[in-house]
Amino acid sequence: MKAQNQTDNLVFAALGGLGEIGMNMALYGVGTTRKRQWLMVDCGVAFAGEDLPGVDLIFPDPGFIVAERKNLLGIIITHAHEDHFGALADLWPRLGAPVYMTPFSANLLEARRLSEPGAPRIPVRGISQASRFTLGPFDIETIPVAHSIPESMALAIRTAHGTVLHTGDWKIDETPIVGLPTDGNRLKEIGDEGVLALVCDSTNVTREGISPSETEVRESLRQLILSAKGRVAVTTFASNVARIRSVAEAAAEAGREVILVGRAMDRVKDVAAELGMLDGIASFRSADRFKTLARDKCVLLLTGSQGEQRAALARVAEGEHPEVTLAAGDTVVFSSRTIPGNEKGVGKIVNSLAKMGVEIITDRDALVHVSGHPRKEELRRMYEWIRPQIAIPAHGEALHLTLHREFAKAMGVKEVIRAFNGDLVSLAPGEAAIINQVPNGRLVKDGNFIIPAADAAITERRKLSFGGLVTIALGLDDRGVIVTDIGVEIVGLPKEDDEGEPMVEHIRDIVDEVFSSLPKAKRRDPEALRIAIERGVRAGVSEIWGKKPVTKVFVLEV
């Protein structure tokens, strides 16, 4: 019998996307522990919240596969949502492997590169939604699936150990408006061949039934736009070409022109038009056309459905957009679902619009949005098509993965593995099991740098955001006497206490008290004096204010 590290096997690991929604990065490996060839599926990003001040983007840490880059045969992008391909520009230089994607994804990547100075030119090998090719021990077939962005794919990854069906993001929609529906017939044929493992989207496992179709959303938007009296503004994910087309068709029927507002919307429109996805649609107008159109002749399509501060809708809501304004009697349609964590930003925009007297319509009021992910009945069909021996719930937080595990068991799957980022799962030969851990973590984009999420710079910035900064400078001679004024600067602290006493004066008094309490030997020691003042000021300010600021003391020997 071969030793464990000499056994040729098929393994799966995720560096992102298991235990969270976003940052998808999956790995499949064939070979022995000492010599294994790898395939990467997706390279996604997540957006930072208030817990990471100054940071915009979060990436999975690819360190494990970077160390194996000579054995990384390729990167396949299932679709062009940010959480599946948004990290390519920043992480690809570390990976260096060829990237496989469809024309829409490839053109969108190139459009972004041209708009971002310094972005790398990534060599892309074009594939279609229904294609087949080989990379080393992997025989890969792409299968069309419906989703909320064009040209989404599932992958049938065939190996000598068996076939893995990696769904990517998908739903069942027989009438998706743009692009192909999910190819249930082909999926069933693959299931008939025999599937070892199904790695499947868990996002909507908590929801019963079947997700509505994009066609139903189109009709709802049509009715809203036809009945509106003033301006209509629709905000949606820029990547949802079907939604853009539906709005444009409804506007044309209502005798209105469509104005696109937001760079991301313009970029997607250009790519979609080039690929024929907007054929038959009247030309879109730019924001400088806004002031020339009567209120009942205008439909706005804006970025910013997730409350992004710098996106078009936020600027319009705050009255800061240079060309576009809204007023009482206008209507804003949120043709989107608020991603968990974005509620605060969206709420701020909604309240600003409400103050203007704008009518606000969300998916709670009308069918103006549908998810691109499968509900339980759709999941049931996938399991009936594929009939896997093994199931690995993916694309979800811990609750989603747990509920999906129970669902798969109820569907009769023999082996169900609830894995999280970093778990190395052996799929074959033998029983499926988590056999090891691979290094994993998070990186953040901080300005022009990519650093670990746990970097001291982020920790310190978080402290600064909570307690502010106190800097103190003083001059000390060799006798241990302060020979300059004590300079104090505060950032992020109240200027006065609740009795009107300046905080700076409090801090100077604390420095005097600390200095007076020290033995003469410590007064002559600049480092000992610095440490004592820092500790004393933090404690003293906390007693006054209730918070401990970051404190920096500079002792100059004169």
Q: Would you state the pLDDT for residue 3?
A: 44
Structure confidence by residue, pLDDT tens digits, 238-266: 999 999 999 999 999 999 999 999 999 99
Domain ranges of the chain: 4-209+371-447, 214-361, 456-557
Backbone dihedral region for residue 128 (phi beyond 0: left; psi -120 to 50: alpha; all else: beta): beta
Residue 394's closest CA among 412, 411, 374?
Answer: 374
The yes or no reply on domain 456-557 and CATH 3.20.20.105 is no
**292: Cβ–Cβ under 8 A, 6 or more apart, which residues?**
none
For tokens 């600049």, the residue is 526
| pLDDT reported for residue 171 | 98
Work out whether strand 415-416 and strand 487-491 pair parallel, antiparallel, or are unpaired: unpaired
Q: Contact at 8 Å (CB) between 330 and 295?
A: yes
Q: What is the pLDDT of residue 33?
A: 87
Residue 374 burial by CB count (10 A; 0-12/13-18/19+): exposed, middle or buried? buried
**How far is the C-alpha of 529 from the C-alpha of 81, rounded, in Å?**
54
Q: What is the pLDDT of residue 1?
A: 34
Contact 21, 169 (CB under 8 A): no
Half-sphere exposure of residue 215: CA atoms within 13 angstroms, side-chain side: 9
pLDDT of the residue at 447: 87
Global pTM value? 0.90
Query: What CATH number should be reported for the domain whose range is 4-209+371-447?
Result: 3.60.15.10
pLDDT at 342: 84
What residues form DSSP beta bridges with 201?
A: 394
Percent helix, strand, coil in the chain, to 5, is 35, 25, 40
Q: Residue 415 has which token pair? A: 């082996």
User: What pLDDT, on a 0 to 100 scale, did the predictor assign at position 5?
Assistant: 56
Residue-level pLDDT, tens digit, the chain, 558 residues: 344 456 899 999 999 999 998 899 999 999 998 899 999 999 999 988 777 888 889 999 999 999 999 999 999 999 999 999 999 999 999 999 999 999 999 999 999 999 888 889 999 999 999 999 999 999 999 999 999 999 999 999 999 999 999 999 999 999 999 999 999 999 999 999 999 999 999 999 999 999 999 999 999 999 999 999 999 999 999 999 999 999 999 999 999 999 999 999 999 999 999 999 999 999 999 999 999 999 999 999 999 999 988 899 999 999 999 999 999 999 999 999 988 778 999 999 999 999 999 999 999 999 999 999 999 999 999 999 999 999 999 999 999 999 999 999 999 999 999 999 999 999 999 999 999 999 999 999 988 899 999 888 888 888 888 899 999 999 999 888 998 889 999 999 999 998 899 999 999 999 999 999 999 888 989 999 999 999 999 999 999 999 999 999 999 988
Domain 214-361 maps to which CATH number in 3.40.50.1370, 3.40.50.10710, 3.40.1390.10, 3.60.40.10? 3.40.50.10710
